[in-house]
Chains A and B, each alone.
Chain A
Amino acid sequence: MAFISASSPHQRTRRSSSQIMVWVMLCLIPGVALQSYFFGLTNIVQILLAGIVALSAEAAILKLRKRPIINTLKDGSALLTGILIAISIPPLAPWWVVVIGTLFAIIFVKQLYGGLGQNIFNPAMAAYVVLLISFPVQMTSWLPMLSLQPFELSILDQLNTVLTGHTLDGYSVAQMSISIDGLTMATPLDTLKNSLKSGFTTTEIFDSATYKASSSQAIMWVNLGFLFGGAILLAKRIILWMIPISFLAGMMLFSFIAFAYQPDLNGSPLFHLLSGATMLGAFFILTDPVSASTTVKGRLFYGFLIAFIVVLIRNIGGYPDAVAFAVLLGNMCVPLIDYYTQPKVYGGRT
């Protein structure tokens, strides 16, 4: 019997991609569950739909490319891409939105570049941007949380909305988003952006009825859910700490600078941390091992850069949220970042 003497570390877990993907999916559960609790169960429907489309699109392309199908599907990356798209779109968006997005992500962003490990852009976020640019109306109609809605929406109503665009009684999503007093209810970031444009200050906005009807609390809870899932991923060492921590630190720093400069026109750091896709982005999207930076310093810079772009677009740009755009811009910078942050070879000249 041979004794293999190796230097430390002596114990390590080897994880295959499929195990990692399963862990990531499991850790999405708290956030998704809170989303369903506040906004209705249709996000589960969207996730199922996206998952099926993602797997079949991946299988079809793999067949065309004459690659092993079953083994590649088992790694779960296509499924995860589909799930992330389904989570980021409004739960009551029509079914074809998520189908087009997933097809685009798998076929154009992932497989045309060469499949898992070759894509330079994050497939889920590229698909999100395509959808947001192509179907702005469907992609921005987030309904207020169920308890704030003017009338009861049964699960059948919601299903019917996803399939046909109308509830069983014939109300469209646009009609549903108008409350009894005639206020249009949108997401907190939307409300902030629009009200700032009409000349209100942040303090007035946060006290206003429109903002209170914008399900800000629900979105905060969903963000906390993703933070919880992300913390498990960190504790399990599925993802490394550099990107999430530097991204969140960057969000705090840059939004604090903007907030300190003009508190009337910019949201507080806490508001930015717990609204929009901040937490989902920090732990589940930026950390995509394929399209993110791969060096220690590079990862820190990558998170910081994306945080800077997010705060910049949220505070100055035209779109209410910016994680998807920022991630794509960050992806573009990754080769440059990696080039300048290569670690020194041990023993090499400085």
Chain B
Amino acid sequence: MKSETIQATDNSEAADVVPLTADENKAIYKELRWQGLWKNNPGIVQLLGLCPLLAVTNTVTNALGLAIATLFVLVASNTLISLIRHHVQKAIRIPIFVMIIASLVTCVQLLMNAYTYELYLSLGIFIPLIVTNCIIIGRAEAFASKNSVKHAAYDGLMMGLGFGGVLLLLGAIREVLAQGTLLDGIETMLGEWSSVLTITLYHTDTSFLLAALPPGAFIIMGIIIASKNAIDYHLENRAKKKLVSQAEQSIENKG
């Protein structure tokens, strides 16, 4: 469903052959932003990549590390796959996509191993597991393999930001509940200077361990999804009321 809505506005063949007008282009980018960040958010609407989402978000630092890694892989894989989309046999496209994604993830893993070793240790198995993250193969198959390079890269960026946003929100809530801090251990990622970024909201001898454990992640994730749905419901109601009042006014004017 999600890909259809975009395809309608952005047909790959047409996009390459007929140059789009500036307004059309703008509309496409706006649609991609809206889809990736809110309406079709990979974290809280598509519920893809739940395994890393729930497993590594016990601190903001871990969440940020995974968010950046996923964002990078998503943008790069979308770009590469869009570049080669005319040259890949349809029958073997999935293995080829997976190989591209796997090479990118290996790059990320080696980079993190070299420059942010402690973060690399604390994320552990979840860095190589980005390969199996359904968001990446999902966007490659549903969007990048059918759309122009610019649009595919932008879609990767927006989906990555949407996913990263959910990671950070979940990480922040869990870290505050469990330890009373924010950005604890950020120096493992950004270097010594950044330890000033750590915010301590309150001190406690008895941390609320549940928030740091996977069940807590599930519960908080449920609350985030519920609040997103509540906001949508509220917006929809308001739009409906506006429509009704407009209709009533127009009837009165005519009458």
Chain A residues engaging chain B, CB cutoff 8 angstroms? 100, 108, 130, 133-138
Contact B219 A135 (CB under 8 A): no
Q: B31 to nearest A CB, angstroms?
A: 34
Chain B contributes a number of interface residues (CB within 8 A of A) equal to 7
Interface CB pairs A-B, < 8 A, 16: A100-B208, A108-B219, A130-B210, A133-B209, A133-B210, A133-B213, A133-B215, A134-B208, A134-B209, A134-B210, A135-B206, A135-B208, A135-B209, A136-B209, A137-B206, A138-B206
A100 contact set on B, CB distance < 8 A: 208
Q: A101 to nearest B CB, angstroms?
A: 11
Q: Report the nearest A residue to B177, measured CB to CB.
A: A134
- Tell me the bound Cα distance from A135 to B215 in angstroms: 15
Question: Which of B206, B209, B213 neighbours the largest number of chain A CB atoms within 10 Å of its CB?
Answer: B206
Q: B67 to nearest A CB, angstroms?
A: 27
A130 contact set on B, CB distance < 8 A: 210
- Tell me the bound Cα distance from A135 to B205 in angstroms: 10
A138 contact set on B, CB distance < 8 A: 206
B219 contact set on A, CB distance < 8 A: 108
Quick one: which of B172-208 are within 8 Å of A by CB?
206, 208
B208 contact set on A, CB distance < 8 A: 100, 134-135
Q: Report the nearest A residue to B208, measured CB to CB.
A: A134
Q: Report the nearest B residue to A108, measured CB to CB.
A: B219
Q: B158 to nearest A CB, angstroms?
A: 32
- Tell me the bound Cα distance from A134 to B174 in angstroms: 13
- Tell me the bound Cα distance from A134 to B210 in angstroms: 5
B213 contact set on A, CB distance < 8 A: 133
Q: B211 to nearest A CB, angstroms?
A: 8
Q: A64 to nearest B CB, angstroms?
A: 11
- Tell me the bound Cα distance from A135 to B210 in angstroms: 9
- Tell me the bound Cα distance from A133 to B212 in angstroms: 11
Q: A316 to nearest B CB, angstroms?
A: 23
- Tell me the bound Cα distance from A134 to B206 in angstroms: 8
- Tell me the bound Cα distance from A134 to B215 in angstroms: 11
A137 contact set on B, CB distance < 8 A: 206
Quick one: which of B212-226 are within 8 Å of A by CB?
213, 215, 219
B209 contact set on A, CB distance < 8 A: 133-136
- Tell me the bound Cα distance from A267 to B78 in angstroms: 62
Q: Report the nearest B residue to A97, measured CB to CB.
A: B206
**13 new A-B pairs (CB below 8 Å) besides A130-B210, A138-B206?**
A100-B208, A108-B219, A133-B209, A133-B210, A133-B213, A133-B215, A134-B208, A134-B209, A134-B210, A135-B206, A135-B208, A136-B209, A137-B206
- Tell me the bound Cα distance from A76 to B208 in angstroms: 29
Q: A90 to nearest B CB, angstroms?
A: 14
- Tell me the bound Cα distance from A130 to B215 in angstroms: 10
- Tell me the bound Cα distance from A130 to B209 in angstroms: 9
- Tell me the bound Cα distance from A138 to B208 in angstroms: 12
Question: Which of A100, A135, A137 neighbours the largest number of chain B CB atoms within 10 Å of its CB?
Answer: A135
- Tell me the bound Cα distance from A134 to B209 in angstroms: 4
Q: A113 to nearest B CB, angstroms?
A: 12
Question: Which of A134, A137, A138 neighbours the largest number of chain B CB atoms within 10 Å of its CB?
Answer: A134
Q: A172 to nearest B CB, angstroms?
A: 11
- Tell me the bound Cα distance from A243 to B15 in angstroms: 69
A133 contact set on B, CB distance < 8 A: 209-210, 213, 215
Q: B208 to nearest A CB, angstroms?
A: 5
- Tell me the bound Cα distance from A13 to B208 in angstroms: 46
Q: A140 to nearest B CB, angstroms?
A: 13
B206 contact set on A, CB distance < 8 A: 135, 137-138
B215 contact set on A, CB distance < 8 A: 133
A134 contact set on B, CB distance < 8 A: 208-210
Q: Report the nearest B residue to A131, measured CB to CB.
A: B210
Nearest 8 interchain pairs by C-beta: A134-B210, A134-B209, A134-B208, A130-B210, A135-B206, A133-B210, A133-B209, A138-B206
- Tell me the bound Cα distance from A108 to B226 in angstroms: 13
CB-CB contacts of B147-183 with A at 8 A, as 1s and 0s? 0000000000000000000000000000000000000
Q: Report the nearest A residue to B206, measured CB to CB.
A: A135
- Tell me the bound Cα distance from A73 to B8 in angstroms: 53
- Tell me the bound Cα distance from A134 to B208 in angstroms: 5
Q: B230 to nearest A CB, angstroms?
A: 11
Question: Which of B210, B213, B215, B219 neighbours the largest number of chain A CB atoms within 10 Å of its CB?
Answer: B210
Quick one: which of B21-67 are within 8 Å of A by CB?
none
